Amino acid sequence: MTTQVALTNLIAPSFYDVHHAIKEERYTHFWLKGGRGSTKSSLISLEIILGVMRDPNANAVALRKIKENLRESVYEQLLWAIDVLGVSHLWHDSVSPMSLTYKPTGQKIIFRGADKPKKVKSSKLRRGYIKYVWYEEIDEFDAGDIRTINQTFLRGGPKFIVFYSFNPPKSQRNWVNAEVLEPRADRLVHHSTYETVPRHWLGEQFFVEAEELRKKNLDAYEHEYLGKVTGTGGEVFRNLTFREIGVKEIEVFDRVKRGLDFGYAKDPLHYAVMHYDKTRKRLFIFGEIHKVRMSNRSAVTEIKKENTGNRSITADSAEPRTINEFRELGLNIVGAKKGPDSVEHGVKFLEDLEEIIIDPVRCPNTKREFYGYELDRDGNGNFKDGYPDKDNHSIDAVRYALEDEMRNARVKVGSKVKIGVR
């Protein structure tokens, strides 16, 4: 006999809307992030057990990057969900091979380590398909891992629910922190903390430990308990805002500038369109072309579609021959002027702006590069001097576009005052 259990006694109030979205299958991808004690993993385990029991064709897979971590994390968490739901008599658990089987139908929950993603395979299922996929500690995976594994499991069925649970890494450069900022219609991103969980669920000692850490190390507290991306201290741009920039807003921009960073081999060509509000020191970036292996003719054709008035474009001057070819193809283009410490000067100029507003829909690559741009560390963990020359194609294009604004700006670089940009 199955015991009736009130879900309000098992699901924290902060997850009520998420629960309804899962039950109604409004999204495919559920990214649940947050701090310690937020009960996000508890919610996922409950939803998987309930979902399998509700849908006779549903099976599930739970993954960790390292196979050895499965038993003491997702496996035990799912056993907990079975117990608190009062349905232990309906499930059979096995550790060799590790699996959970719903006795009435033979539906399964399987477990996989993903240290070699290309070798992750589904199991022979008695019925149905893998409807639920759970990545626990998603930040341990690489972005490519997820794509490969989803291609394995997200097939053969009408509807899928994929859970990604994690405590956000400190570094804003981490791919997970950047990923959750990407707009996607079939994705729900939810953030939770222990503060929204009934106190007696966690016990008084949990709150004592949290408060002690808050007093001693606020940065660690905010990262561990509140799930904040506190940063490593090496973030270059701390003046970023991501929001859509509407057509009406763009129509009144009167200081539109365009910059171009050429692509070579594996490096992408990046063309950037922006408006600079000099009075308020605010930069609006609302257009980009970001492609690898574009021919010069194709690049000019794409740029002309945006730049219908053939306004001036400032480009990387390292390749005069390429600039000449673009010019011969009809583009109004000039090479950026070089100056001493031009990279440092340009990046510092952008750092010192009051705000850099980037449209994440129109400019996803610009958003990704600006957000993830951090100082490198040496072998001892100390920050290296200078700015890294990688994943900065959009940043370079923006620097070139704004060279007239920077040329007379006086910015300190190290202990000296430098003037000039390229």
CA distance 41 to 399: 43
Triad 85, 89, 91: Cα angle to 5°: 80
For residues 350 and 357, what is the distance between their CA atoms, to the nearest angstrom? Answer: 12
Other Cβ atoms less than 10 A from the Cβ of 335: the count is 18
Q: Which residue do the tokens 């629960």 mark?
A: 19
In sequence order, the 6+-apart residues with CB closer than 8 A to the CB of 204 are none
Q: What is the DSSP string of 294-334?
A: --HHHHHHHHHHH-TT---EEE-TT-HHHHHHHHHTT--EE
Question: Which position among 47, 137, 140, 179 bears the catalytic label?
Answer: 137
Contact call for residues 402 and 349 (beta carbons, < 8 A):
yes
**Cα dist from 283 to 239, 333, 334, 421, whole Å:** 10, 22, 22, 18
Residue type, 421: V
Closest C-alpha to 36, from 172, 197, 162: 197
Contact criterion met (CB below 8 Å) for 92 and 109: no
DSSP 195: G
Give the ranges where 55-96 is alpha helix by DSSP (H): 76-84
**137 tagged catalytic:** yes
Rounded to an integer, what distance in angstroms lies between the CA atom of residue 129 and that of residue 123? 10
The residues near 97 (Cβ < 8 Å, ≥ 6 apart) are 110
Q: Which residues are catalytic?
A: 137
